[in-house]
Structure 1
Amino acid sequence: MSSLHETSKMLRIKKLDIFILKSFCMLFMGTFFICLFIFMMQFLWKYVDEMVGKGLEMSVLAQFFFYSALTLVPASLPLAILLAALITFGNFGERFELLAMKAAGISLLKIMRPLIVFIIFICGVSFYFQNVIGPKAQTKLWTLLISMKQKSPELDIPEGVFYDEIDGYNLYVKHKNRKTGMLYDVLIYNFEKGFENAQIIKSDSGRLEMTADKQHLYLHLYSGEQFENLKSQNMNQKNVPYRREAFREKHAIIEFNSDFNMVDAGIMSNQSNSKDMAMLQAGIDSMRVQNDSVGRVYFKEAMNGTYKISADLKKADTLKIEQAHLGEYNVDSLFNVATLSQKQKIISTAVNRAESAGSDWSVKSYSMSQTDTSLRRHMTSWHEKLTLSVACLIFFFIGAPLGGIIRKGGLGMPVVVSVLIFIIYYIINNTGYKMARDGQWVVWMGMWTSTAILAPLGAFLTYKSNNDSVVLNADAYVSWFKKIVGIRSVRHLFRKEVIIHDPDYTHLPADLQALSADCRAYAERKALKRAPNYFKLWMADSIDEEIEDINERLEKLVEEMSNTKSVHLLNALNNYPIIPVHAHLRPFRNCWLNMACGLLVPIGLFFYFRIWAFRIRLNKDMERIIKTNEDIQKIIETNLK
């Protein structure tokens, strides 16, 4: 029977896991395609100028969208997981399904267990896309983009403006008949031979046609004139002649390649985004070795090459100069005794050598900086393949508990919260990436900053949601702030509609007098008006049993007297203070933490003056209790006995 019971229990858990997986996966598929579409529209908006007006074929555009979708899959997965987890657990909370699961003894972590396995699988898929599919898709995508940039635009000459998309030509058409293709009042500037030798053609009408191979334009012009500058033939003459030609019909061929030609994919071979992790690591190792070896060579040149003695000096003179020490000579006196021509020669030689050394080292510095930039890009790409995969798991541990806390399903609140979280992640991740790429931070620190910040947030939310702690309750934070600042609540007692037991007015005056005596004795014994001893404060006990007893007796009296029918007595009861019994003591329960706080003088002074203010307020509370007790005794004696 016990084995049968255990088997049925396992079957129930399996059905619950299937239900949770089904609920999450349906939403995940929808949110993934929505996020992918949004990222694709953002990517398309950046490169829309490269595609519009160039007459690209549908096959080329289809390849562009396909490869861009493949490259954006890893970026879409974290946001899709966050949104799907928020909606799924928000739906569970809104429909009280989460409450029913917890009431059955199933913790939040057990509810999340099948999804954690699924998300780990998604992390593997994300890594596979970045390491295997991503580099190939990036190579294809950027090859397409470069080819699109190099393609000439589709020939569509507008009316009333100069058209300069044809290399070496400027065309102006006043009117255009779109049905027949005829152009009227045509003005053409030909700058192929240079600006000074420009050819200008003015024609009443004309027509432009593309040749069959899409490599040239065939130009037909009717009833016009051609002007050409002939300066190249008369370079020495001040009056430059020109040639004027009138024509009834003129034909010309203009080179214009409008066909789409795919560039060689080898141009992406050195780019970091077209390599997998193994290739990136090999590139990083080779560039590090190159930088080290080249740096050592440059160092040796800096130490020896710049200050070498010229080879045309005599060997004896060379030996003497090598054995000389500059500190043994007065260089200024040697320069002053030289003739003017020698001084000019020395200065010009020094300037030339300095400029030559400066230009040489600027070239070397540029070469080293380029290699260093490429090295950092390879390292950031290597880390990015891991951080984006881990982000899927982190976003799940943020979204699932947050959805259980918010308990709002649908596309309202979850979308707002997920977008805000993703914006924070995007800002932190981009900041770390740029700092690592530009060499401001260590690469691993910049690339893992977002993970280091969001992982504790996910752990905190999961812990709070698993323990049903209040995280997003504004009243809890307001109460905590009031406690820190010292703002207390005020009593609001009202007349009860149903009273079971009336107050015992015969014993109340004696109880009130005893409470007043204890309050007065406590205030005198504790010397609440005086400043506490700074050193003894951190050693004192964190429990004040006497004030706890006074507060307990006060609350019992208030509870008993709140059953009264007298409005005057209820108004008097509202004058009693609500006593925080621990505010005037040391701030922490841990003894060592209090001692550390006292040793850190700036922090200790803050708590010292705070405790002193609370002691003064406690003394006023004792006086207020005594005064209220006297008022209540008068009310009882005059009205209630």
Structure 2
Amino acid sequence: MKILDRYILTTFVKTFFPLFIIIMFILLLQTIWLFISELAGKDLDLSVILKFLTFATPRLIPMVLPLTILLTSIMIFGNFAENYEFAAMKSSGISLQRAMRTLSVFIFFVGIGAFLFSNTVIPASEKRFINLRKNLVKIKPARVITANQFNDIGDINIKVAEKYGDNDQFLRDVIIHKKAARPGNFTVIKAVNGELKGNVNSDLITLILNDGNYYDEIQQNSPQKRDKLPFAKTYFKKYVLNLDLSSLDNVDVDAQQYSKGYNMLNVGGLKEEIDTLSIQVNNEVKNVKTEIDRRIGYEGLNKNLSIDSIPKTSTDTLEIRDYFTTEKKIQIYHIAISNTDGVIRKLDTSHKNLTFRKRALNKYEMSLHDKYSLGISCILLFFIGAPLGAIIRKGGLGLPIVIGVALFLTYHFIGIFAKNSAEEGGIPPFIGSWLSTFIIFPLSIFFTYRATTDRGVFNFDSFIQPIRDFFIKRSSKSKK
């Protein structure tokens, strides 16, 4: 490696790592602020808090690494241009492309490392982070129930609109979902108000509910009866629940119960999950079509009739009043209404299931593409920052930071909007993950070309000169 290459690379690395640590520290503080409600009031050990921060750090890399590369590139090459180091290089016959060559190779390997990191470290840390958060929720807090959110306590999930009283023992607008062996909310309890009673030295707490209803969904073995969604409703004046909180004090924060999230899998796991979800979506569509055809009798509509034997009619409406008695007409109308209502409810349920599955499928596909786009975006942002720094000829922490942050926020927000749209199915997941990268690709080519040809970002003379020539010609003609 030549002395010039070593100097440029050393200068870049000396700026890169301190800036990386500063940005990581700032975003880590933001992460603590976002999850402060899950950490505060639980009497956690310092080791648990350090685990939380350690597992939360890798998930910030997709934002910290590209921003650091962009800011470092602008600052370093701006410093070179401001201190006339580029002028000295060019006087020695060294072009900007030659000065960028060593750093280009370095950033290329950084991009490969970013992909490997996002494919191995981030899924593992995200898995530990999600499981740690789930386990922290189970730890007995200073206040057992938090208002306006569902709280997992024993064999129930409880949500209250407000807590009041001297010790917050009185509850208002209580909703309880009781857990069952089957996944799902089959038993729901709603009450106007309630009261918590317990002993400080006991792990048992008594929940007294007043003026409410008990809803229990009846599980039918027959598919026809199940489609009618039967349930039992019971009104109560007073209902007493005894909750055992002893398990909340014996939580293993290192337990790993969740491992199938879209951000917990590597490339191989994501591809398998995408294939599984795609098959489920296709089967759901096929089953809905088959079920609707069966309900309306589409398959057997012309089974016993010959098309040629049916007399032609001038209208498309079947007048049943000419063929059936009043009793039969009422029966036919009731059957038609019941079938139509069942088909509509089936379509609504299937639509909700398909929307949920497609949204999950879109998340998995975007997570797969994000692993590749991270490394590519690091390389492209370098080819934006380095030429831009040489063009503006300003280093340090002033103007380069402002320009770099503005560019990165634009890139980042475009990515967020694209992913939100892709998650809802507005655009393909591939576009949602790659749109911001596709936008910065021509910018990197444009800035690199302008910097290597010693031109500014915009040559205003090329726009002003034709206008100036036009007025000069008009004035000369008027004088003649």
Compute the TM-score of the two structures, normalised by the length of structure 1: 0.58
Where do 1:376-525 residues align within 5 Å? 376-471=362-457, 476-477=459-460, 479-483=461-465, 486=467, 488=468
> Which of the residues 18, 35, 46 maps onto 1:47?
35
8 Å contact 1:200–1:228 — kept in the other structure? no
When residues 108 and 129 of structure 1 are mapped into structure 2, their CA distance, relative to the original with a 3 A threshold, is: same
How far apart are residue 385 of structure 1 and its match?
Answer: 0.7
User: For this pair of structures, how many residues does the alignment match?
Assistant: 421
SS of 1:408's equivalent in the other structure is coil
When residues 144 and 326 of structure 1 are mapped into structure 2, their CA distance, relative to the original with a 3 A threshold, is: farther
SS of 1:268's equivalent in the other structure is coil
Tell me which residue corresponds to 1:274. 264
When residues 34 and 305 of structure 1 are mapped into structure 2, their CA distance, relative to the original with a 3 A threshold, is: same
8 Å contact 2:170–2:193 — kept in the other structure? no
When residues 23 and 262 of structure 1 are mapped into structure 2, their CA distance, relative to the original with a 3 A threshold, is: same
RMSD of aligned residue pairs (Cα, Å) = 3.9
How far apart are residue 78 of structure 1 and its match?
Answer: 0.3
Tell me which residue corresponds to 2:114. 126
How far apart are residue 451 of structure 1 and its match?
Answer: 1.2
Letter in 1 for 2:141: P
Where do 1:368-379 residues align within 5 Å? 368-379=354-365
8 Å contact 2:77–2:389 — kept in the other structure? yes
How far apart are residue 93 of structure 1 and its match?
Answer: 1.4
SS of 1:468's equivalent in the other structure is coil
> Which of the residues 103, 127, 135 maps onto 1:139?
127
How far apart are residue 71 of structure 1 and its match?
Answer: 1.6
8 Å contact 1:210–1:216 — kept in the other structure? no
Instruction: Report percent identity of matched pairs.
Output: 27
8 Å contact 1:87–1:409 — kept in the other structure? yes
Where do 1:332-371 residues align within 5 Å? 332-336=318-322, 338-371=324-357
> Which of the residues 256, 263, 269 maps onto 1:265?
256
Letter in 1 for 2:304: L
Letter in 2 for 1:319: N
Tell me if 1:148 matches 2:136: yes
Q: For residues 511-535 of structure 1, what are the alpha-carbon distances to aligned partners after superposition, in whole Å with 9 as ceiling and x for unaligned? A: xxxxxxxxxxxxxxxxxxxxxxxxx
d(CA) in 1 for partners of 2:111, 2:159: 53
Letter in 1 for 2:337: V
User: Higher relative contact order at CA 8 Å, sep ≥6: structure 1 or structure 2?
Assistant: 2
d(CA) in 2 for partners of 1:17, 1:342: 94
Letter in 2 for 1:397: F
d(CA) in 2 for partners of 1:364, 1:436: 21
How far apart are residue 254 of structure 1 and its match?
Answer: 8.0
Where do 1:491-640 residues align within 5 Å? 580=469, 583=470, 618=473, 620-624=475-479, 626=480
d(CA) in 1 for partners of 2:72, 2:311: 76
Tell me if 1:59 matches 2:50: no
8 Å contact 2:295–2:339 — kept in the other structure? no
d(CA) in 1 for partners of 2:209, 2:413: 59
How far apart are residue 325 of structure 1 and its match?
Answer: 4.9
Tell me which residue corresponds to 1:577. none
d(CA) in 2 for partners of 1:298, 1:187: 49
Letter in 1 for 2:387: P
d(CA) in 2 for partners of 1:194, 1:310: 46
Where do 1:197-216 residues align within 5 Å? 209-210=200-201, 215=203
d(CA) in 2 for partners of 1:194, 1:333: 48
Tell me which residue corresponds to 2:285. 295
8 Å contact 2:191–2:209 — kept in the other structure? no
d(CA) in 2 for partners of 1:131, 1:65: 20
When residues 59 and 210 of structure 1 are mapped into structure 2, their CA distance, relative to the original with a 3 A threshold, is: farther
d(CA) in 2 for partners of 1:48, 1:137: 19
d(CA) in 2 for partners of 1:96, 1:357: 76
Letter in 2 for 1:618: K
8 Å contact 2:293–2:299 — kept in the other structure? no
Tell me which residue corresponds to 1:501. none
SS of 1:265's equivalent in the other structure is coil
How far apart are residue 260 of structure 1 and its match?
Answer: 6.1
Letter in 2 for 1:288: S
When residues 153 and 420 of structure 1 are mapped into structure 2, their CA distance, relative to the original with a 3 A threshold, is: same
How far apart are residue 409 of structure 1 and its match?
Answer: 1.4
Tell me if 1:102 matches 2:90: yes
Tell me which residue corresponds to 1:4. none
SS of 1:25's equivalent in the other structure is helix
8 Å contact 1:74–1:389 — kept in the other structure? no
When residues 378 and 156 of structure 1 are mapped into structure 2, their CA distance, relative to the original with a 3 A threshold, is: closer
How far apart are residue 421 of structure 1 and its match?
Answer: 0.4
Q: For residues 21-56 of structure 1, what are the alpha-carbon distances to aligned partners after superposition, in whole Å with 9 as ceiling and x for unaligned? A: 110001100111122122222322222222222222
Compute the TM-score of the two structures, normalised by the length of structure 2: 0.76
Tell me if 1:83 matches 2:71: yes
SS of 1:273's equivalent in the other structure is coil
Q: For residues 64-112 of structure 1, what are the alpha-carbon distances to aligned partners after superposition, in whole Å with 9 as ceiling and x for unaligned? A: 1001101212321000011111111111112211211111111111111
When residues 58 and 346 of structure 1 are mapped into structure 2, their CA distance, relative to the original with a 3 A threshold, is: same
SS of 1:411's equivalent in the other structure is coil
Tell me which residue corresponds to 1:23. 11
d(CA) in 2 for partners of 1:23, 1:265: 43
d(CA) in 2 for partners of 1:341, 1:197: 50
Letter in 2 for 1:428: I
8 Å contact 1:74–1:129 — kept in the other structure? no
d(CA) in 2 for partners of 1:68, 1:281: 25
d(CA) in 2 for partners of 1:100, 1:260: 68
8 Å contact 1:143–1:262 — kept in the other structure? no
d(CA) in 1 for partners of 2:133, 2:319: 66
d(CA) in 1 for partners of 2:204, 2:320: 73
How far apart are residue 305 of structure 1 and its match?
Answer: 4.5
When residues 210 and 402 of structure 1 are mapped into structure 2, their CA distance, relative to the original with a 3 A threshold, is: farther
8 Å contact 1:394–1:454 — kept in the other structure? yes
d(CA) in 1 for partners of 2:264, 2:441: 29
Structure 1: give runs of 5+ residues left out of the alignment: 1-12, 158-164, 174-185, 202-206, 220-226, 230-239, 241-252, 312-316, 489-579, 584-613, 627-641
SS of 1:274's equivalent in the other structure is coil
When residues 373 and 194 of structure 1 are mapped into structure 2, their CA distance, relative to the original with a 3 A threshold, is: closer
When residues 456 and 308 of structure 1 are mapped into structure 2, their CA distance, relative to the original with a 3 A threshold, is: closer
